[in-house]
Amino acid sequence: MCLAIPGKINSITSEYNGMVRMAKVSFGGITKKASLEMLPDADIGDYVLVHVGVAISKVNEEEAQKTFKYLEEIGELGELEDVNEYLPKPD
Amino acid sequence: MKYMSEYRDPDLARKYLTEIENTVSRPWSIMEVCGGQTHSLVKNGIIEMLPKKITMIHGPGCPVCVTPLHLIDKAIYLATEKKVILCSFGDMLRVPGSKKSLLEAKAEGADIRILYSPLEAVTIAEQHPDKDVVFFAVGFETTAPANALSVLHAHRRGVGNYAILASHVLVPPAIKAVIDDEESQIDGFLAAGHVCTIMGNAAYHPLSSHYKVPIVVTGFEPLDVLQGILMVLRQLEQSTAKVENQYARIVREEGNIEAQKVINEVFEVQDQMWRGIGKIPQSGYAVREKYAAHDAMKKYQVNITEAPENPKCISGQIMKGIKKPFECSQFGKTCKPTNPLGAPMVSSEGACAAYYHFSGMVEA
Ligand code: SF4
């Protein structure tokens, strides 16, 4: 039940008489609504982690590369390795 | 899907495994605290692929599994006797209470609903002004902002017929309890990434330095877990003990300040009972007095006698990492996901269910 998955903000509306910023977030093919109250500066196009209807974190693109480069960074992977083949592809 | 599927790349996973193999020199026990990580380890076969010298111990990190029996009985009582519309997350419905589960109560006619988000429950309360609506709000720190928000939404929108039955548990005090338990021998921890997304890493620095254990904040995809294991292992082999963040694409050192504000507005820290483990000091949340009108504990006086646990279920030892699911005499025999004796067999994040589904240890 702690599942939280990243999705992309497609649109932002304000609901409940302007009290709450809500986003439409797409997860692959599925779109769900999520509250942006925890992420006041999240914007359209951002990737956010959504848990039970609430966006709780923005994905940091730069940090996202590090899992793919870590082995290289600790110096154990051959220098000829092409890290790029592992990097997240654009949408 | 972006930021998910790439973290399942089998070639890079193999490279991580090779690196782990090359790094380990002696036996170590590493606990993954979160049930989501247990699920990932077992489902992806990582447990079997790790070097024999590394023992993964599955921690207490499944909120569904540690929700006290008497709270489940209380939720059932509210739905059946007080005729409230009782809502919760799907996993919670199948957990056995002392006599039945919420799902069985639902089959008998109680109005019990599975929701994706507690915010939906506030809307249901608005649509049914003649009924009381209670959300059975279980969870770790990850889920606390959503549950707290539902209270704030109800408060601001004047939805007086909405309350939560809170059963919140906090991870750092549980890690401390596990380390303090004499029976458990754990050398390093993978901390639960999504919990830290909210609370940040602050609570782990004193734990790590006081007990001299490496703690690596870790994500949930196979590569995340493998990298987390390697990071703990490197620390162990180099005799260092600090907090590292494998999951920095999601977790900031300070966590999510907005979410912390909302949690602090609605909840205060209290001692908490963990099913199968017992009381852990300062390890849960209670709704603050200011929001008592939305607190099902205060709104409904229910005195339910505490029923004993099924004596055959060893879930406490499982969640403290002392025993593995297949060491339970009931595992796969009388206890299955279709007929769970204990909570860890219910949720897919429970260690018993994860082993049942994926590890091929059960004869058909
Ligand atoms: S297998 Fe079933 S009975 Fe045994 S510890 Fe797990 S939940 Fe309890």
Joined tokens for residue B34: 């979160």
Q: Taking residues B33-38, what's their average pLDDT?
A: 89
pLDDT tens-digit map of B314-347: 988 888 778 889 999 999 999 998 888 888 888 7
Q: Given CA atoms A15, A16, A19, A23 in this order, what sign does their dihedral have?
A: negative
Q: Do B117 and A52 touch (CB under 8 A)?
A: yes
- Select from A19, A26, A28 the least CA-distant residue to A36: A19
- Residue carrying structure tokens 């793919």: A68
Looking at this protein, which amino acid is placed at residue B327?
E
Q: What is residue B364's predicted lDDT score, i.e. its pLDDT?
A: 35
CB < 8 Å to B12, chain A: 68, 71, 86
Lowest mean pLDDT among B73-82, B215-224, B313-322: B313-322
**What is the location of CATH 3.40.50.11750 in chain B?**
11-62+176-192+207-245
Asked if residue B213 lies in contact with residue B186, where contact means CB atoms within 8 angstroms, the answer is yes
* Cα of B132 from ligand 1 centre, angstroms: 35
Q: Is the pLDDT of residue A77 over 70?
A: no
For chain B, say whether A71 makes contact (Cβ under 8 Å): yes
Bigger pLDDT: B18 vs B317: B18
Q: Is the pLDDT of residue A78 over 80?
A: no
* Cα of B321 from ligand 1 centre, angstroms: 13
For chain A, list the domains and their CATH numbers: 5-85 (2.30.30.140)
Q: Whose CA is nearest to atom 1 of ligand 1?
A: B331
* Rounded percentage of chain A residues whose pLDDT exceeds 70: 80
Reported as half-sphere exposure (CB side, CA atoms, 13 A), residue B197 has a value of: 34
pTM (2 d.p.): 0.90
Torsion of CA B336, B338, B344, B350, to 10 degrees: 110
Q: What is residue B360's predicted lDDT score, i.e. its pLDDT?
A: 65
Q: What is residue A91's predicted lDDT score, i.e. its pLDDT?
A: 60
Lowest mean pLDDT among B128-137, B146-155, B215-224, B274-283: B274-283
Q: Is the pLDDT of residue B285 over 50?
A: yes
Q: Domain spanning B11-62+176-192+207-245: which CATH class is it, in words?
A: alpha beta
Rounded CA gap, B231 and B179, in Å?
Answer: 20
pLDDT tens-digit map of B219-238: 999 999 999 999 999 999 99
- Residue carrying structure tokens 């005799």: B239
The domain B69-170+255-299: what is its CATH number?
A: 3.40.50.11740
Joined tokens for residue A61: 């693109």
**What is the location of CATH 3.40.50.11740 in chain B?**
69-170+255-299
